[in-house]
Structures are given as C-alpha cells and as structure tokens.
C-alpha cells in the first residue's frame, strides 16, 4: 500500500517500518511515532478487534500485579512529589484489575480513599479490586476532579483518535495544575531495547508514541507535555501548563521543593515515609544521570555539526 499520512501528528508522511504478526507498521517521518496499518487500526476503533478479553487478562494479570506493587508505586510516589498543587484525589487511568489501588491500600491505608481507578475493559468481577473507588467506565463517566494520576502501559493500546478522546476527557476531570504520568514505550525504546513491544494480536500494542507525537495530541486539550530525561518510556502531562518543554533545572526544582501539603499527606500514612523516599530517589537517579550526560551530549552534537560541514 502507499505510504499513509501519520495517524499521530496528522501532518507528515510515514514510511514502512516492519511487519509484526502479519500486520504492517509505519514510522512517521515527522514526529517519529510508530503505528500499525491504518486499516488494522480502524478495525480496533470499530471494536472488530478486541484484545481485552479473558485470554488477555489470564496472560497479563501477573505482570500487572507485579508492576502495581513495584514500579507502579514508584511512579505514583514520583508523581505526587513532582505535582505542584495539593492533591486531594489521585487516579489510575486504565487501572486494569485495580491492583495499584490494592497496593496503595496496603501501604497507605490512612489515605487510600484519595485514590481512584478507572477501567473501560475490566476482567470478571472476581478478579478485580474491591476498593470502593475502583470504577468501570470512561473518564467521561466520572464526576470527581483529580489533581494527579498515572496511566501505566495503556496508551500503546489506543489509536491516536482514541488517545485524543482520552486527552479531552481527562481535561474535563483535571484540576488546573494537575500532573499525570504516562508510562508507555517510545520509538527509541522499542528500537533500542524491546522490538517485541509492538504486538498487535497478543497484547494489542498498536502505537509507539513519540514525545513530539503526544504533544500534537495533548496540547490541544490544554496539557503541557514534559519529557523525562533518560526515560524514553514515560512523560508527564500537566494540565494548564502551556506549550513548550521543561528544562532539566526546572525538574530538579520540582524534585527538591515538593508541595508541603503533598508530603504531609504521605507522611500521615503508615508507609508514607517510604513513599516520600521512593518519590525522591526514583526521579533523582534519572535526572542526575541526565545532568552528568549533558556535557557529553553537547560534545556529540558539536561533532555531528562539524562532520556535516567538513566530512573528512
């Protein structure tokens, strides 16, 4: 088939990338995002292809639980620390079985009522969380407003049109200044670390969104997209933050001067001090590495510039 226009940025032409399980993938020449064949994506959007069925939950439940009691808690702690407004409600978007709610309840029972989860395609009732704030439906079906949240291993399942809808719905539920962490492999991660991440028929991974790509989706909904140095598998979306990026020094400033209300909220809970430490260390390790690498990156950029002018 002829090269399609990118489904993500909707501007640049895309080129054939590779086939996975008989499904073609394309890579945008502009934003760099990778997406499945538009006809296949259209079948996902229409509901003809559905991955969230019993077989999916049978294979994913164990890894989802492991994420929730490990990396999910770290991402939660980090988001709370980096959020610049007081957090009254925190949401897990695409909560799956709701195991992150269960993990939070185990560590932070005193403030567990501040945490919510929303899932469109839940497993059968006997397999999902009994947390009172576990909800089945879309963000649009909620009435609460949220100051922070996470969305872990979800958006790679969504077509660009579906993600635009999610961004618009989240904007309706987001407080000004709210912060949300999205965890999903970007193209450089797919190419450099996990080519098998593209998985249209098993896990239903149909898009690898670049930072440039998600900006074209989230900025029109009112979010600032914040790239996270050293992590090509996550980004922040801050509601009402304006356009443009955030410099490394600004991220360090957030890290070292968290909102006191959010730290007091964590400190009031059983394992809150653990979450405070995790939030600090899980963010700091990447930021410090990025700072250490910055001079090397500048040297590499200078060398590439020189080589373009004098290629000998």
Rounded Cα distance between 159 and 36, Å, is 9
Rounded Cα distance between 162 and 207, Å, is 11
pLDDT digits (tens, 9 = 90+) for 102-111: 999 999 999 9
pLDDT digits (tens, 9 = 90+) for 26-65: 999 999 999 999 999 999 999 888 766 556 666 677 777 8
| Total count of residues recorded for the chain | 312
- Angle between helix 211-218 and helix 160-173 axes, rounded to 10 deg: 50
- As a whole number, mean pLDDT of residues 152-179 equals 97
Above 60 in pLDDT, residue 298?
no
pTM of the entire structure?
0.91
Going by CATH, does the domain composed of 50-280 fall within 3.30.1440.10?
no
């Amino acid at each position: 088939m002829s090269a399609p226009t990118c489904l993500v940025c909707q501007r640049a032409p895309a080129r054939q990338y590779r086939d996975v399980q008989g499904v073609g993938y394309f890579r945008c020449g502009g934003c760099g995002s990778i997406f499945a064949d538009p006809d296949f994506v259209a079948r996902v959007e229409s509901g003809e292809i559905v991955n969230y069925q019993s077989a999916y939950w049978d294979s994913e439940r164990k890894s989802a639980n492991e994420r929730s009691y490990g990396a999910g808690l770290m991402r939660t702690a980090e988001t709370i620390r980096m959020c610049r407004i007081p957090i009254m409600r925190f949401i897990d978007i695409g909560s799956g079985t709701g195991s992150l709610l269960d993990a939070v309840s185990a560590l932070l029972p005193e403030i567990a009522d501040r945490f919510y989860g929303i899932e469109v395609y839940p497993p059968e009732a006997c397999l999902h969380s009994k947390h009172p704030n576990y909800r089945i439906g879309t963000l649009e079906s909620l009435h609460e407003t949220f100051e922070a949240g996470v969305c872990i291993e979800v958006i790679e399942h969504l077509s660009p049109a579906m993600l635009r809808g999610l961004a618009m719905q989240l904007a309706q539920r987001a407080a000004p200044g709210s912060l949300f962490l999205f965890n999903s492999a970007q193209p450089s991660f797919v190419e450099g670390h996990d080519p098998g991440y593209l998985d249209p028929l098993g896990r239903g991974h149909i898009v690898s969104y670049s930072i440039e790509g998600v900006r074209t989706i989230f900025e029109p909904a009112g979010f600032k997209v914040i790239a996270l140095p050293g992590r090509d598998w996550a980004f922040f979306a801050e509601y009402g933050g304006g356009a443009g990026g955030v410099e490394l020094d600004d991220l360090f400033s957030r890290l070292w001067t968290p909102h006191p209300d959010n730290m007091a909220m964590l400190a009031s809970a059983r394992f809150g001090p653990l979450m405070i430490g995790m939030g600090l260390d899980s963010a700091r390790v990447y930021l410090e590495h990025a700072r250490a690498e910055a001079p090397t990156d500048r040297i590499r950029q200078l060398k590439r510039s020189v080589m373009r002018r004098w290629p000998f």
